[in-house]
Amino acid sequence: MLRMIITVLMTLVFALPAHAVDGTELLKEVDRNLSPESYQTYRKLINIEPDGRKKEYTLFSVKKGQDRVAALFLAPASDRGRSTLRLGENMWLYIPNVGKPIRITSLQSVVGGVFNNADILSLDYATEYNVVKTEIGGSLSLLHLKAKNRTVAYDRLKMWVDAEKKLPTKIECLTEAGMLIKTLYFKKQKDFGEGIVRPSVIETDSPLYKGYKSIMIFADIKKRTLRDEVFTLTYMPNLESLRR
């Protein structure tokens, strides 16, 4: 009997961390399946109003490693040449007319709509969040994520992951008190080449913006080796030169 109790206790002791580790590993797999560690991409952001009217932005983006992202606006003409940079929790916006990068915050949005700067210049989820709970059931796993610090835009995330493809299908972004800020829906899986197979469309809506919807469409994702110096304030006016 004592042996049985010890066995059960040992199983419980080792099983609990094993679940946590599984969740963390799954999150890292999700990150790598969504994008290579360093890459370039072309995206379109569309803000859709309740009456169906749209406003579109086209961006060229590059990312390197855990915490470096930069994006350049290609369209519309009124925004062409603007660029944004993220180094960890530091974010800047460069507007050609203003002529110098200004600091922006993750909760602002350089394009309006439901996506904020943290969504547009997103880092790997595992960089910003810890897995606090993993629910595995059927074809979907549910990861409960908690921000590693207070500078992260959303305090908590609930991420539904396709258990087979290891890709997110839906993410709910929540405040510390559990209030829903927005929901991201991952759609239209696409083969981008070089082994990158991932959703090509992210839709978002928010109870804070009733009737509004924003969509992010990925046209192209390619692995790319980039120098660290590309992700600096001084380089922001030159991002166009990275396009080939």
Partner 1 sequence: MKLLRFKNRWLPLFLLLILILTPAASRAEEDYSFDAAEIEKKPYHLGGYVEARPVLFVPDKNSALYKLNYYNHPAGKTMEEYNFRLQLEGSYEKDIYRFYAKTNTDYKNAYSGESERSVFYEAYGSLKSSPSLKLEAGKKTLKWGKGYAWNPVAFMDRPKDPNDPELPLEGYIVASADYIRSFSGPLKTLSFTPVLLPVYDHINDSFGQNNDLNAAGKLYVLLYDTDIDFILLTGGSKTTRYGADFSRNITTNLEIHGEIAYIRDHQKTFIDSNGTAYLKEYDTTSYLLGLRYLTAIDTTYIFEYYHGGTGFTEDEMKNYYAFINKGYQSYESTGSDTLLQRAATLTENNYGRMNPMRNYLFLRISQKEPFDILYVTPTVTGIFNWDDGGLNLSPEVTYTRIKNLELRLKAIFLIAGRDSEFGEKPNAYRFELRAGYYF
Nearest distance from C-beta of residue 142 to partner 1, angstroms: 26
Interface residue with partner 1 among 74, 145, 184, 196 (CB under 8 A) is: 74
From 15-23, 138-146, 147-155, 164-172, span contacting partner 1 (CB under 8 A): 147-155
From 4-12, 18-26, 163-171, 231-239, span contacting partner 1 (CB under 8 A): 231-239
Should residue 139 be labelled a site residue for partner 1 when binding is judged by CB under 8 A? no
**Are residues 88 and 97 in contact, defined by beta-carbon separation less than 8 angstroms?**
no
Residue type, 132: V
Compute and round to an integer the Cα radius of gyration of the chain.
Answer: 20
Interface residue with partner 1 among 84, 106, 204, 206 (CB under 8 A) is: 106
Should residue 3 be labelled a site residue for partner 1 when binding is judged by CB under 8 A? no
Among candidates 192, 190, 204, which has minimal Cα distance to 157?
A: 204
Q: Footprint of partner 1 on residues 188-227 (CB under 8 A)?
A: 188, 200-201, 215, 217, 219-220, 227
Should residue 112 be labelled a site residue for partner 1 when binding is judged by CB under 8 A? yes
Maximal C-alpha separation, the chain: 78
Question: Facing residues of 156 across strands?
Answer: 146, 174
**Owner of token pair 């059931």:** 137
Should residue 231 be labelled a site residue for partner 1 when binding is judged by CB under 8 A? yes
Give the C-alpha separation, 106 to 118, whole Å. 5
Should residue 39 be labelled a site residue for partner 1 when binding is judged by CB under 8 A? no
Should residue 229 be labelled a site residue for partner 1 when binding is judged by CB under 8 A? yes
Nearer to partner 1, 26 or 45 (CB): 45
Residue type, 113: G
3-state secondary structure 33-75: HHCCCCEEEEEEEEEECCCCCEEEEEEEEEEECCCEEEEEEEE
3 state SS of 78: coil
Q: Is the dihedral of CA 20, 24, 27, 32 positive or negative?
A: negative
**Residue ranges that bind partner 1, judged by CB under 8 A:** 42, 44, 46, 49, 55, 58, 60, 74-78, 80, 87-91, 95-100, 102-108, 112, 150-153, 187-188, 200-201, 215, 217, 219-220, 227-235, 238, 240-241, 243-244
